[in-house]
């Protein structure tokens, strides 16, 4: 007891704690009983328990990004500088204004929220402001958490949850059988029950015995994790553990505050113990009314005597252990036992049998007396502490998460683990709880709380029952029973008992609500791990990334890819830079990184048969060294992607498709290859990142290519092998901009040399680099489609205006379904162009209507402008649109409050005859 005291503050008051004390223990030690206000009624609340089940004593700790609300004072070890604040009180804990609610608790009866939701909306809006201020837990922090959360995956043979004697024996047996064991304890100390009830085990002091087993676990390759909660158990013994490396609100020494474990175990042993149940009587929520085992924990483990005159109200033998511990510590004790004499062990303590608490008296300073019926007669017992025990509820949460069933233990009045379909077993008090009498309230007590955290009383349950709520799941949602941070760990059984009594059925007939993870709250940060900020998702850099970065582009996150959106010069905005780049392409030449395109090499004697199934256009007649635009349909006949196909060799083709659809296309090709034409002799290889690619477009592009390759540029839709800067390249003449254009594909490892050679030639020819912004302007004006907005998987080739390119011979995937009668409907949406009549920009995504207020008949998929002449244009999907060219309608965006009058046109705004890109 000579260890230095620890300094901390509670609501600004400087206090000290003994080493190893929880905040709850330290507060009780200082005589502080009032630690919070209740959720709805703002009733004064103290400390009920000594563990993770605590419903009342929730505090906010830490500051700034480390602020953590709803921290259980019973599950928080005091550290130097701890700054804890009580919650849900204003202006202060002892003079809380909301406390008047406890006098008018009729204001928020069961189902209050539902009733006002279904009432007149104005009433709800009125109540909402009032409720938001009055009801609630601690406010969520608003600053970013500066700490890190580690994540680890691990395997073990046996995972033991709980380090009480039963868990330790299971761990020891597993170690002896040569198993790798993980032993998990949510407390800071191993075997916390032996700190509460010291005992000799196998001839050794319990703590020594426990320490030896922990050492054996560690030395045999296992792990002992204290301050670690097994928060969830999923299929095939997959367990998530959340390990506190520091206490909530504390500043971590090494930057990491928690570690989140994913453990796959061969077997899970649940030694999770049982949670003591409160008794239900009027004002059972007063500060100073505590659980019996919790009182014993404070006395024996933490050296704190929470009261001097104590009434122990019990339905079982365990209460007598508390009585004895209290007496040994110098308290005056009376035991009220619900059972007839000679139940219990009355070694020198005053015992009243057939005794049931009726009402506690007292105020915010705590309980002053307990009124009870003793053998039928009402008596009042003056006291400053009530230690109550309504029996024990086994912690079956993980067993239930694992898909287990429950059995009813009549002697213990409790559900115990039954059948399980996983390799999970439960041992100790969680499997065999101590016998106890029934738990429920007698009569119709007022302000007798069942769920302390949600302020649910016996009368609330009765009201819900009278209103017809019978199913436990409905009751839970209607009364908010068993919700919030404690999930009804102390209250659910008393509630079930009440419902069963009203219904005239047994508790097992009343049933239980679903047990969902997490067992105790888990920090969001622990779940996120290091996947936060820029690491929230992967980033993909194209091969040319560094070259772009050196030229300071405006970046675009295209899926996971980082792509240049534009290369602004001077003070140019994105729009200005994009337009300048696009105009340079129209008038001279530009170059653009198109490396992210999906690319597949299709090879083999049956390569062409394979492509004729995947592609909806003719591929079979493609001559060596020639390419073609193509598009692909799903089995349902709708187009989902497009690209080009090039014949590189006799039996060798290159298929390109959209960047965004790349992984979907890879899956699709392997599906077609493996399931629809497994008999074909063909291999399909994804070469997306093997090749980098640069597009060179503009009227001077052929001149640039000729200079670079020292040979005549290939004809439109031809491909030749060539060399640039010493690197072998595939030179394809294809245009996405409407200008004469080329795509240069080359081994990604040659990225730098090829880029620099092309860039030098492009710039020398008066050209520019261009990004996605310019590419979009160019392709929209030309009426080229993009997978995603334009080709959205909902239109057929015909509806996209691609009908004349479809392979009339058939044989492609999707053909069968095109005979569905729905596709004959000419009022389905079709791709069209739009022209703004007054020149205003057409909002992308806006709906197309005949007049504002009319039903939407389509939407704008891509919005752009005429690159050289100006004037707003767009691509859109419109019902029956192909027959509506010339019609004037409106592009209407209610969210942006924009309405633009537009004319329906062909989607080809620029060089519709395609004269500019032909050689």
Cis ω for the linkage preceding 518 (within 30 of 0): yes
The whole-angstrom separation of Cα 365 and Cα 700 is 89
CB-nearer residue toward other proteins: 235 or 546: 235
Smallest separation, CB 671 to other proteins (Å): 7
Q: Pick from 9, 749, 756, 816: which binds other proteins (CB under 8 A)?
A: 816
CB-nearer residue toward other proteins: 686 or 753: 686
CB-nearer residue toward other proteins: 142 or 819: 819
Q: What part of residues 785-814 is at the interface with other proteins (CB under 8 A)?
A: 811, 813
**Residue 167 to residues 229, 385, 613, 707, Cα–Cα distance (Å):** 14, 32, 62, 79
CB-count exposure of residue 340 (10 Å: 0-12, 13-18, 19+): exposed
The whole-angstrom separation of Cα 62 and Cα 141 is 10
Smallest separation, CB 668 to other proteins (Å): 10
CB-nearer residue toward other proteins: 189 or 636: 636
Coil, helix or strand at residue 94: coil
275 with 489: CB under 8 angstroms?
yes
Interface with other proteins includes 143 (CB under 8 A)?
A: no
Smallest separation, CB 235 to other proteins (Å): 4
CB-nearer residue toward other proteins: 124 or 234: 234
Interface with other proteins includes 537 (CB under 8 A)?
A: no
CB-nearer residue toward other proteins: 254 or 683: 683
Give the DSSP letter of residue 560.
Answer: T
Which x/- pattern, by CB under 8 A, does the window 620-649 give for other proteins? ---------------xx-------------
Coil, helix or strand at residue 793: coil
CB-nearer residue toward other proteins: 401 or 905: 401
Considering only the stretches 22-30, 232-240, 352-360, 872-880, report the one whose residues sit in contact with other proteins under the rule CB under 8 A: 232-240
786 with 874: CB under 8 angstroms?
no
Nearest-10 crossing angle of helices 772-782, 574-587: 60
Q: Pick from 188, 349, 805, 817: which binds other proteins (CB under 8 A)?
A: 817
Give the DSSP letter of residue 800.
Answer: T
CB-nearer residue toward other proteins: 128 or 235: 235
Smallest separation, CB 238 to other proteins (Å): 4
Q: What part of residues 343-382 is at the interface with other proteins (CB under 8 A)?
A: none
116 with 123: CB under 8 angstroms?
yes
Interface with other proteins includes 820 (CB under 8 A)?
A: yes
Of 391, 408, 379, 252, whose CA–CA distance to 311 is shortest? 379
CB-nearer residue toward other proteins: 676 or 730: 676
The whole-angstrom separation of Cα 165 and Cα 213 is 10
CB-nearer residue toward other proteins: 421 or 474: 421
CB-nearer residue toward other proteins: 224 or 672: 672
Q: Pick from 234, 408, 555, 823: which binds other proteins (CB under 8 A)?
A: 234
Which x/- pattern, by CB under 8 A, does the window 191-230 give for other proteins? ----------------------------------------
Give the DSSP letter of residue 101.
Answer: G
Which x/- pattern, by CB under 8 A, does the window 465-504 give for other proteins? ----------------------------------------
Interface with other proteins includes 238 (CB under 8 A)?
A: yes
Smallest separation, CB 523 to other proteins (Å): 20
Interface with other proteins includes 664 (CB under 8 A)?
A: no
Coil, helix or strand at residue 259: strand
Cis ω for the linkage preceding 18 (within 30 of 0): no
Considering only the stretches 109-117, 597-605, 674-682, 792-800, report the one whose residues sit in contact with other proteins under the rule CB under 8 A: 674-682
Considering only the stretches 203-211, 234-242, 595-603, 729-737, report the one whose residues sit in contact with other proteins under the rule CB under 8 A: 234-242
CB-nearer residue toward other proteins: 19 or 811: 811
Element (H, E) at 836: strand 829-836
Smallest separation, CB 811 to other proteins (Å): 8
Sign of the CA dihedral 187, 192, 195, 196?
A: positive
| DSSP string of 641-681, one letter each residue | EEEEEEEEETTEEEEEE-STTHHHHHHHHHHIIIII-TTS-
Coil, helix or strand at residue 161: strand
74: its two tokens = 């019973």
**Residue 803 to residues 11, 41, 738, Cα–Cα distance (Å):** 74, 69, 20
CB-nearer residue toward other proteins: 234 or 629: 234
**Residue 614 to residues 125, 597, 871, Cα–Cα distance (Å):** 57, 18, 38
Interface with other proteins includes 676 (CB under 8 A)?
A: yes
Q: What torsion do the CA atoms of 809, 815, 820, 824 make, to the nearest 10 degrees? A: -50
**Looking up tokens 């009668």, which residue turns up?**
821
Smallest separation, CB 865 to other proteins (Å): 41
Smallest separation, CB 818 to other proteins (Å): 8
Longest dimension (CA), the chain: 113
Those residues whose C-beta lies under 8 Å from the C-beta of residue 41, and which sit 6 or more positions away, are 98, 101, 102, 105, 108, 455
CB-nearer residue toward other proteins: 424 or 510: 424
Sign of the CA dihedral 129, 135, 136, 142?
A: positive
Number of residues that bind other proteins (CB under 8 A): 24
84 with 60: CB under 8 angstroms?
yes
Q: What part of residues 591-620 is at the interface with other proteins (CB under 8 A)?
A: 613
- Could you tell me whether strands 727-732 and 741-747 are parallel, antiparallel, or unpaired per DSSP bridges? antiparallel
The whole-angstrom separation of Cα 221 and Cα 216 is 9
Interface with other proteins includes 85 (CB under 8 A)?
A: no
Q: Pick from 106, 621, 675, 804: which binds other proteins (CB under 8 A)?
A: 675
Interface with other proteins includes 670 (CB under 8 A)?
A: yes
Considering only the stretches 75-83, 100-108, 231-239, 864-872, report the one whose residues sit in contact with other proteins under the rule CB under 8 A: 231-239
Interface with other proteins includes 236 (CB under 8 A)?
A: yes
Interface with other proteins includes 673 (CB under 8 A)?
A: yes
Q: Pick from 143, 421, 446, 826: which binds other proteins (CB under 8 A)?
A: 421
CB-nearer residue toward other proteins: 204 or 421: 421
530: its two tokens = 């290091």
CB-nearer residue toward other proteins: 238 or 515: 238
Interface with other proteins includes 671 (CB under 8 A)?
A: yes
Interface with other proteins includes 264 (CB under 8 A)?
A: yes
CB-nearer residue toward other proteins: 255 or 674: 674
Interface with other proteins includes 825 (CB under 8 A)?
A: no
Smallest separation, CB 613 to other proteins (Å): 6
CB-nearer residue toward other proteins: 669 or 731: 669
CB-count exposure of residue 647 (10 Å: 0-12, 13-18, 19+): buried
Smallest separation, CB 645 to other proteins (Å): 19
The whole-angstrom separation of Cα 436 and Cα 319 is 10
| DSSP string of 287-319, one letter each residue | TTEEEHHHHHHHHHTS-----SEEEEEESSTHH
Considering only the stretches 47-55, 199-207, 817-825, 889-897, report the one whose residues sit in contact with other proteins under the rule CB under 8 A: 817-825
Q: What is the CA radius of gyration of the chain?
A: 37
Of 138, 35, 39, 36, whose CA–CA distance to 481 is shortest? 39
Interface with other proteins includes 574 (CB under 8 A)?
A: no
Query: Which positions touch other proteins (CB under 8 A)?
Result: 234-236, 238, 264, 421, 613, 635-636, 667, 670-671, 673-678, 811, 813, 816-817, 819-820
């Amino acid at each position: 007891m000579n260890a230095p005291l620890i300094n901390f503050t509670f609501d600004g008051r400087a206090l000290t704690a003994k080493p190893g004390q929880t905040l709850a223990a330290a507060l009780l030690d200082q005589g502080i009983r009032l630690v919070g206000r209740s959720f709805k009624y703002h009733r004064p609340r103290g400390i009920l328990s000594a563990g993770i089940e605590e419903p009342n004593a929730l505090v906010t700790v830490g500051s700034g990004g480390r602020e953590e609300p709803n921290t259980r004072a019973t599950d928080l070890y005091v550290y130097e500088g701890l700054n804890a604040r009580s919650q849900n009180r204003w202006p202060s804990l002892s003079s809380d204004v909301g406390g008047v609610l406890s006098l008018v608790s009729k204001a928020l009866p069961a189902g209050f929220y539902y009733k006002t939701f279904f009432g007149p909306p104005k009433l709800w809006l009125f109540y909402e402001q009032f409720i938001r201020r009055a009801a609630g837990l601690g406010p969520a922090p608003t600053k970013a958490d500066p700490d890190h959360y580690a994540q680890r995956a691990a395997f073990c043979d046996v995972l033991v949850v709980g380090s009480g004697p039963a868990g330790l024996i299971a761990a020891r047996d597993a170690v002896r059988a040569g198993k790798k064991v993980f032993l998990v304890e949510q407390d800071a100390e191993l075997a916390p029950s032996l700190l509460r009830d010291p005992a000799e085990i196998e001839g050794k002091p319990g703590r020594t015995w426990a320490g030896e087993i922990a050492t054996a676990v560690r030395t045999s390759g296992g792990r002992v994790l204290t301050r670690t909660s097994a928060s969830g158990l999923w299929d095939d013994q997959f367990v998530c553990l959340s390990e506190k490396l520091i206490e909530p609100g504390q500043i971590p020494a090494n930057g990491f505050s928690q570690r989140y474990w994913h453990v796959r175990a061969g077997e899970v042993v649940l030694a999770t113990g049982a949670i003591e149940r409160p008794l239900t009587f009027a004002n059972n929520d007063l500060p100073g009314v505590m659980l019996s085992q919790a009182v014993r924990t404070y006395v024996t483990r933490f050296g704190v005597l929470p009261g001097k005159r104590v009434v122990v109200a019990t339905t079982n033998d365990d209460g007598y252990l508390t009585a004895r511990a209290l007496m040994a510590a110098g308290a005056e004790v009376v035991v009220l036992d619900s059972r007839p004499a000679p139940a219990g062990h009355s070694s020198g303590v005053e015992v009243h049998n057939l005794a049931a608490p009726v009402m506690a008296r007292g105020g915010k300073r705590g309980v002053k007396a307990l009124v009870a019926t003793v053998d039928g007669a009402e008596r009042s017992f003056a006291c400053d502490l009530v230690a109550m025990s309504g029996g024990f509820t086994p912690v079956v949460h993980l067993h239930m998460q694992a898909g287990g069933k429950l059995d009813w233990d009549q002697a213990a009045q409790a559900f115990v683990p039954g059948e399980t379909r996983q390799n999970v077993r439960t041992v100790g008090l969680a499997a065999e709880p101590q016998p106890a009498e029934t738990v429920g309230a007698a009569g119709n007590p007022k302000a007798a709380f069942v769920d302390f955290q949600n302020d649910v009383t016996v009368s609330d349950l009765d009201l819900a029952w009278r209103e017809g709520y019978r199913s436990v799941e409905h009751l839970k949602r209607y009364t908010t029973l068993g919700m919030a941070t404690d999930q009804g760990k102390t209250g659910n059984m008393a509630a079930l008992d009440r419902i069963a009594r009203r219904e005239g059925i047994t508790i097992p007939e009343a049933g239980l609500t679903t047990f969902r993870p997490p067992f105790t709250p888990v920090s969001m940060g622990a779940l996120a791990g290091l996947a936060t900020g820029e690491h929230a998702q992967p980033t993909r850099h194209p091969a040319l990334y560094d070259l772009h970065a050196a030229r300071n582009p405006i970046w675009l996150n295209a899926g996971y890819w980082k792509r240049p959106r534009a290369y602004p010069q001077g003070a140019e905005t994105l729009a200005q830079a994009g337009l300048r780049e696009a105009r340079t392409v129209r008038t001279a030449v530009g170059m653009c990184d198109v490396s992210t395109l999906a690319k597949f090499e299709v090879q083999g004697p049956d390569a062409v048969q394979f492509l004729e199934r995947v592609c909806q256009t003719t591929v079979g007649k493609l001559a060596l060294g020639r390419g073609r635009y193509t598009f692909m349909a799903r089995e349902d006949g709708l187009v989902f992607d497009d690209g080009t196909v090039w014949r590189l060799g006799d039996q060798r083709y290159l298929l390109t498709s959209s960047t965004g659809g790349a992984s979907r296309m890879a899956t699709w090709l392997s599906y077609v290859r493996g399931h629809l034409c497994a008999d074909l002799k063909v291999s399909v290889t994804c070469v997306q990142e093997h090749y980098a690619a640069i597009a060179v477009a503009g009227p001077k592009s052929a001149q640039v290519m000729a200079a670079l390759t020292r040979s005549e540029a290939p004809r439109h839709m031809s491909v030749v092998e060539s060399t640039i800067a010493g690197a072998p390249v595939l030179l394809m003449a294809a245009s996405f901009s409407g200008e004469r254009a080329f795509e240069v594909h080359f081994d990604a490892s040659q990225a730098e040399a090829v880029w620099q050679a092309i860039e030098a030639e492009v710039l020398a020819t008066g050209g520019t680099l261009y990004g996605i912004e310019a590419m979009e302007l160019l392709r929209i004006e030309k009426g080229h489609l993009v997978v995603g907005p334009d080709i959205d998987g909902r239109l057929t080739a015909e509806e996209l205006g691609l009908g004349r390119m479809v392979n009339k011979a058939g044989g492609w995937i999707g053909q069968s379904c095109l005979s569905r009668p729905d596709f004959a409907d000419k009022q389905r949406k079709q791709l069209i162009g739009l022209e703004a009549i007054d020149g205003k920009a057409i909002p992308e995504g806006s709906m197309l209507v005949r007049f504002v207020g009319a039903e939407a008949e389509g939407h704008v998929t891509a919005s752009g402008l005429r690159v050289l002449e100006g004037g707003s244009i767009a691509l859109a999907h419109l019902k029956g649109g192909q027959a509506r060219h010339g019609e004037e309608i409106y592009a209407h965006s209610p969210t942006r409050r924009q309405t633009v009058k537009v004319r329906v046109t062909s989607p080809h705004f620029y060089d519709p005859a395609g004269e500019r890109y032909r050689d």
